[in-house]
Amino acid sequence: MTDSKEIQFSKKRTWSHDLPISYLMQQGVENPGVLSLAAGLVDQNSLPVSITKSAFDSLFSDPGSARESLQYGTTAGSLSLRKLLLTHLTNLEQKSAEELGMTVDNFIVTTGSQQYLSLLGEVLLDPGDICLVAAPTYFVFLGVLQGLGARIISVETDESGMRMDSLDATLESLEAQGQLNRVKLIYLVSDYENPSGISLSIERRKQVVEVAQKWSKQHRIHILEDLAYRELCYDGPVLPSIRSFDQTGETVILTQTFSKSFAPGLRVGFGVASKRVCEAISDKKGNDDFGSTNMSQHILANALRENLYYDHVEYLRSVYREKRDCMLDAAEMYFSKLKDVHWIHPGGGLYVWMTLPDSIETGFQSSLFQKAIHEDKVMYVPGELCYAYDHWLGCNEQPAIQKNHMRLTFGVQNTQGIQEGMKRLANAVKSYL
Ligand SMILES: Cc1ncc(COP(=O)(O)O)c(C=O)c1O
């Protein structure tokens, strides 16, 4: 006998449903033989097996350190790891901790940077509060915002990232509508954005801090800078963060991860924020899990301390550079003769953003997606998932959701798989031109 009494889920539950990520994973499982240019996994073969083993062996060669890693940790994360993170960040920024205005107390270690994004959303956003995002942007964070009942408003983007004139104009218009007091966050993936591969120009990194400060009239409008792909740069040096232009450290909250540059299985990410924001995140995290996996933190600390991490990142850059070039070459080979098809050459990250003619839709229900998956046996992420929809207004204002893009990743497949996947995809697209 089943008891069919109604379940009264919380409002929050009803704001998170039909997640596109679950649909994508399901399609992958239900359609074996499909070459995925969609999955956001990292390259399997270059995962740091021997480095992790030697970090683990070194940790367990001493019963004291072994026991420490097997014990609960602290909510903010291991102090020795946070000290190493501070050094890591100052090296990336090429500025001292004093110049950046940060100490270990500004750092919180989280279970991937995804947890930091989610905790921050929880402590800053009430239902109806506003977060401004780039169009397009990281669709999993759009889901987090939606799950919190936040209003998500898109800001126009060009080849240098979010447009500052559009951001300023959006804030001006929100003030005119009496909504400025609801604006809490500006979310930016400054390096090699997921999905577009675009980086915010250095000039705009400075400007966005000024814009956020200018519009922080009654309360602070924070910038949430997501640097997930920061270290996966293939054509030049690591770029200075938006945070490095915020001398007080009060406006920008930065988050980074070791998922892309080391191993997502360790689930180690971190964030840097002002003391007041850290306190709020720490209180929320205390309720959620009172600390991320201690063992992972010790392993990562060991890899950082012994410089094994840095050699690995160098190696990874060469692996991904080759795969990125392979995807771009394949795009040239199979798509360059197709009218009105173009794509962005990313300087880093894991994605190539491809645009089809306006008339070709790429969404889950589109005939292109269905043909690609069932006949051509290839999968991509529909670009429309990466555009915000304003659930509060029941529509999306400008910029409109664009339905003719595909996010392609060169992370998972080897070069043969990338070539074959691109060939299959071009085949699918051709039948709609
Ligand atoms: C832009 C961006 N931010 C954050 C994350 C979260 O990664 P993790 O939780 O593994 O650190 C991802 C993962 O794909 C991402 O693409």
Nearest CA to ligand 1 atom 2: 228
For residues 404 and 137, what is the distance between their CA atoms, to the nearest angstrom?
15
For residues 403 and 315, what is the distance between their CA atoms, to the nearest angstrom?
36
Residue with tokens 């447009």: 163
How remote is the CA of residue 433 from the centroid of ligand 1, in Å? 34
For residues 430 and 163, what is the distance between their CA atoms, to the nearest angstrom?
33
Residue 162 bridge partners (DSSP) = 157
Return the pLDDT at 17: 75
For residues 65 and 351, what is the distance between their CA atoms, to the nearest angstrom?
39
The tokens of 281 are what?
């995140």
Return the pLDDT at 396: 55
Over the chain (433 residues), the average pLDDT of each successive run of 10 is: 81 80 79 89 95 95 96 97 98 97 98 98 97 96 94 95 97 96 98 97 98 97 98 96 95 98 97 98 97 97 94 97 98 96 98 97 96 96 90 63 95 96 97 89
In single-letter form, the type of residue at position 68 comes to E
DSSP character at residue 358: T
Yes or no: say if 225 and 254 are a contact pair by the CB < 8 Å rule. yes
Nearest CA to ligand 1 atom 5: 114
Give 379's Cβ-side CA count (13 Å radius).
Answer: 23
Cis peptide before 20 (omega within 30 of 0): no
Return the pLDDT at 94: 97
Q: Which of 350, 347, 354 is nearest to 383 (CA)?
A: 354
**Within 306-410, where are the H helices?**
308-335, 367-371
How remote is the CA of residue 132 from the centroid of ligand 1, in Å? 18
Whole-Å CA distances, 3 to 6, 7, 10: 9, 11, 20
Query: Ligand 1, closest atom to CA 259?
Result: 10
For residues 426 and 372, what is the distance between their CA atoms, to the nearest angstrom?
9
The size of the chain, in residues, is 433
Domains of the chain, CATH where assigned: 13-47+311-430 (3.90.1150.10), 50-306 (3.40.640.10)
Return the pLDDT at 29: 76
How remote is the CA of residue 195 from the centroid of ligand 1, in Å? 11
Query: Ligand 1, closest atom to CA 258?
Result: 11
User: What does 211-250 look like in DSSP terms, one character per residue?
Assistant: HHHHH-SSSPPEEEEE-TTTT-BSSSPPPPPSGGG-TTSS
Three-state SS letters, 53-69: HHHHHHHHCCHHHHHHH
Q: Which of 344, 352, 334 is nearest to 425 (CA)?
A: 334
Q: Which residues line the pocket of ligand 1, CB cutoff 6 A?
A: 40, 112-114, 138, 189, 194, 226, 228, 257, 259, 264, 269
Yes or no: say if 354 and 405 are a contact pair by the CB < 8 Å rule. yes
Return the pLDDT at 433: 85
Return the pLDDT at 227: 98
Contacts of 429 (CB under 8 A, 6+ apart): 335, 338, 341, 356, 360, 368
How remote is the CA of residue 402 from the centroid of ligand 1, in Å? 23
How remote is the CA of residue 114 from the centroid of ligand 1, in Å? 6
Tell me: the pLDDT tens digits for 86-140?
Answer: 999 999 999 999 999 999 999 999 999 999 999 999 999 999 999 999 999 999 9
Q: Which of 304, 305, 284, 285 is nearest to 293 (CA)?
A: 285
For residues 430 and 424, what is the distance between their CA atoms, to the nearest angstrom?
10
